[in-house]
Structure 1
């Protein structure tokens, strides 16, 4: 088990190192002057020179890269050009919105999708199965921002059960959770559809196994067969997909936070792109990469606990 974890951790660190190179190259090495991108083509030469000196754009590439990596390790990410404040503070202030939003969306996706998938497999090729598959097809094909707009029109404008947008702050926990319900629902729709389909497929494969037939032949109740014998083994591929879904949630948060006017990291990315604030964009992208890699590492650990074969092969 220790060797398995060591290999997964080493692979994660190598992936992260390559990601830093790619992000740095895209932002600062590709053709074009970063200072010119940030200030625009109408900027004066002395203003461009001052910005290059301020952010180190006039230094050698290797020096700039190593300084950025050193800043990442100490969480000294520099200052935002557009906001005029610390990037670390900007990100920290917004993570308290984005992380709960993502956790709520992932929790709902898991709690809704797995029972739906089990039910669809149990009712295979019957109306219950067709209903679930129809719902998942809609969920996969419908953009989450459009679903968010529909939820706002229905539950915020028409019935006024939820706020249409904004975030009151965690000084008022109940109001804050209330404000995140519609965004989390919007963010989780596509993930519910994907995870339900994966669960259904895994359950159908597991229900064909000999040990499931044996349990049924011995007279075990269908509830016991489904949840005690079949579901545990079916959760192995479901766990892997759930980890991948975390990456989709990170990408989806950029749009959903803009739709609901949430002051999260996704909204920060959107504003930074509009403001051409490359310093913020670079650090937020690598932060998202770290979050996704961490989740995938935890998924690998969960996978090894559910199925010992990968760690035995390692």
Structure 2
């Protein structure tokens, strides 16, 4: 197990370095935005003295490296600063929105992951059959369409007919059943997008192992195709499957921006888009950094789980 802990420590170090580079990119991208931030917030009617005073209040009169170090030091301590739009602490704004995004991602994952694994196993079991070809056509179609197009199609056929609401607004004191009902369409949109990738990887990983000698031996022993796949092929195909599942879970958290905007869902992605329109740069920086942290941590989890699922990677000798 020492090799595993060394790998985890190495991945964590690379993750911290990656987040540091991402924080530089985020801050640099904000600095490259055209126009004067103070002037944009105060409006064109503000006097030069008011703009100068507001720039001093925001710290915009300081050099860029000082502002970056101040922002990074606050982030390390858990202080993301205050919102420029309403003066509230960013941690309070992000807390509820991040919880909503995680709820939507978990909702979609609970549907998508078992569905993708079952469809992938069945497609490998009935390879080249009509079922396999139909599943491949459906998954390729869902991959080809962008998320907003899938969302609008679902709104047309499931919302305008009165089955589900087109706006996924949820009250903080709403029950679990009410939340599941109101967020079904955005969860279904995410499910249709990520299920295809996971299903195709599951199918490909299992089919790649079906020509192995131990699989041929299992068939010669008279085992049923289902038993051969479930007991012998699937455990050895877990490493690539775990990788693609973890990457798609990362997408469910970081790639929900478009879906949240279409359904007006009060998540972190919607908050980020609203903050961009208001030039609330501090909130945009915090949201982007949280998305990056989620992606890095899920990639680390994928590496660890895929390594643990393959004894040849755990014991290199």
Asked whether the equivalents of residues 125 and 225 of structure 2 are also in contact (C-alpha less than 8 Å), the reply is no
| TM superposition score normalised by structure 2 | 0.91
For 1:136, the equivalent position in structure 2 comes to: 139
Residue 238 of structure 1 and its aligned partner are, at CA, apart by 1.6
SS of equivalent residue, structure 2 residue 66: helix
Can you list the C-alpha shifts for 1:21-67, whole angstroms capped at 9, x where unaligned? 11111112677544345556665423332332222111122321221
Q: Please identify, of 236-245 and 42-51, the stretch whose mean Cα deviation from structure 2 is larger.
A: 42-51
CA 312–156 in structure 1, closer or farther in 2 if over 3 Å, else same: same
Equivalent of residue 82 in structure 1, options 63, 80, 85: 85
Residue matched to 1:161: 163
Aligned to 2:296: 293
Please list every run of 5 or more consecutive structure 2 residues that lacks an aligned counterpart in the other structure: none
Return the TM-score normalized by structure 1.
Answer: 0.92
Q: Give the CA deviation at 1:237.
A: 0.8
Structure 1 residues 233 and 47: alpha-carbon distance in aligned structure 2, compared to 1, 3 A threshold: farther
- Does residue 248 (structure 1) correspond to residue 251 (structure 2)? The answer is yes
Query: C-alpha distance in 2, partners of 1:33/1:247?
Result: 34
Q: Which residue of 2 aligns with 1:16?
A: 19
Pairwise CA RMSD: 2.1
CA distance in 2, matches of 1:233, 1:40: 62
Equivalent residues of 1:38, 1:278 under 8 A apart: no
In 2, the alpha carbon distance for the partners of 1:170 and 1:15 equals 38
Aligned to 1:25, the other structure's residue is in SS state helix
Aligned partner of 1:56 in structure 2 is 59
Shift of 1:74: 2.2
Relative distance call for 1:253 and 1:39 in structure 2 (3 A) is farther
Name the structure 1 match of 2:227: 224
* 1:169 Cα offset (Å): 2.6
- 1:116-195 correspondence runs (5 A): 116-158=119-161, 160-165=162-167, 166-195=169-198
SS in 2 for 1:57: coil
Q: Number of aligned pairs?
A: 313
Is the 8 Å Cα contact of residues 187 and 252 (structure 1) preserved in structure 2?
Answer: no
Q: Counterpart of 2:95?
A: 92
Deviates more, 1:28-37 or 1:259-268: 28-37
Q: 1:107-154: CA deviations, max 9, x gaps?
A: 322111111111112222221111011011111112222222222232
Deviation at 1:310, TM superposition (A): 3.8
C-alpha distance in 1 between matches for 2:98 and 2:200? 31
> How far apart, CA to CA, are the structure 2 residues paired with 1:309 and 1:49?
63
Q: Is the CA contact (8 Å cut-off) linking 1:120 and 1:132 kept in structure 2?
A: yes
Measured after TM superposition, the shift of residue 218 of structure 1 is 1.0
Identify the range of structure 1 (13-22 vs 245-254) with the bigger mean alpha-carbon deviation.
Answer: 245-254
2:236 pairs with one of 233, 237, 240: 233
